[in-house]
Chain A
């Protein structure tokens, strides 16, 4: 599977009048704003969907919600990193309170991941047309990541897309994201919610999205890779 420019799987005839977005020459206008060709492509893919459904896995943002709702989408939000952090805090508290030798208090990262997903990302199969994952995959535990990928794959419609960001080096600060316009993502500095777990190599990214049928990446001047993955 090659990393760049795979065949598009959506039913888009060549003669489609819609102009395909061209990669922008501008990389970033400031430290907190980045031009996003991945977002542009993501929106282009979703433009086929009437009343499409979007899942935003980042912090809820009025700008992002309004952006999609005004275009006729239905948006669901679930701040996955915050939910994961709160889950771990609660589990730690339970563990602390549990009597010594309590078998029920047994812990393992895999067990945690399974338990977390009993309440997180609970949606019907093939429900969403698009998922905004931002950079959460960089922050998820190794045991949780593949299970989250499986869940995202299950809730995406065939032809649905995941937009994700991957840092090429450990970011200097933790940021949340919101959409400013169809080709601009704004970075919002935030208090550290989770420790940056790893920097993925391109091959590793392909592996974790192994079930997906198509992928495309865009690299910005800030060396953040934007990945667009189609089911």
Chain B
């Protein structure tokens, strides 16, 4: 019932009150960062620094670069250029800078968008759309922050950490009580 759910409604800001800062790709503070190939490179998959993963390492695709092909790996990625191909960094952060343009799906632990993305976004932990961001595609994330001015055309779904969709399997209080009762009585369905 509507009013009942309002009582139990958690905060309207889902654990995401602080606006994350989009990291600027400062070369002197990122010893492990590397610049990827220019647009003339062959259209194959690009592995992002898989040998020396580091929490401080950031790979940068600078403005003016264009990459065609899938990107996967373990280091954080800052895209300020243009990419066409899936970006899959499930244990890292992907940031699309203000000049960045991605025409493919992105899957990462954290996704920060300040530029343009034409594709679906799947974040393992959180997703942030900055004020200048433009996204066309579906969003799947456990937490998100959307600044005023962001443009989104697509569907938004929240998932619990561990990838069970909130919207697909909402657990009601009744179901919890039922499960507890069944557990206590030793029944199993």
Q: Enumerate chain A interface residues (CB-CB to B < 8 A).
A: 17-19, 43-44, 47, 51, 59-63, 65-67, 69-79, 82-83, 182, 188
Contact = CB atoms under 8 A, between A and B. Distances in A.
Given A75-B155, A77-B152, A63 B2 contact: no
B188 interface: no
Given A18-B1, A69-B167, A71-B5, A62 B157 contact: no
B158 interface: yes
A69 B3 contact: no
- The binding surface of chain B is classed by DSSP as mixed
A44 B5 CA distance: 12
B170 A76 contact: no
B82 to A, nearest CB: 19
B2 A182 contact: yes
13 contacts: A18-B1, A59-B151, A62-B145, A66-B13, A69-B158, A70-B9, A70-B14, A71-B9, A72-B167, A72-B170, A74-B156, A76-B155, A83-B153
Interface in B3-43: 3, 5-6, 9-10, 12-14
A191 B186 CA distance: 62
A78 B153 CA distance: 5
B136 to A, nearest CB: 10
Given A51-B167, A74-B157, A19 B146 contact: no
Contact of B153 (A17, A73, A79): A79
Contact of B148 (A73, A182, A188): A188
A53 to B, nearest CB: 9
B168 interface: yes
Interface residues of B, number: 29
A78 to B, nearest CB: 5
A62 B1 CA distance: 23
Closest 9 A/B residue pairs (Cβ)? A62-B146, A60-B152, A47-B2, A76-B155, A72-B170, A78-B153, A74-B167, A69-B158, A75-B156
Given A71-B5, A74-B167, A65 B146 contact: yes
Contacts of A83: 153
Nearest to B169: A51
B10 A70 contact: yes
Interface in B123-180: 129, 144-148, 150-158, 166-168, 170
Nearest to A44: B2
Contact of A61 (B2, B5, B146): B146
Nearest to A123: B155
A77 B1 contact: no
B130 to A, nearest CB: 12
B6 A66 contact: no
B3 A19 contact: yes
Nearest to B151: A79
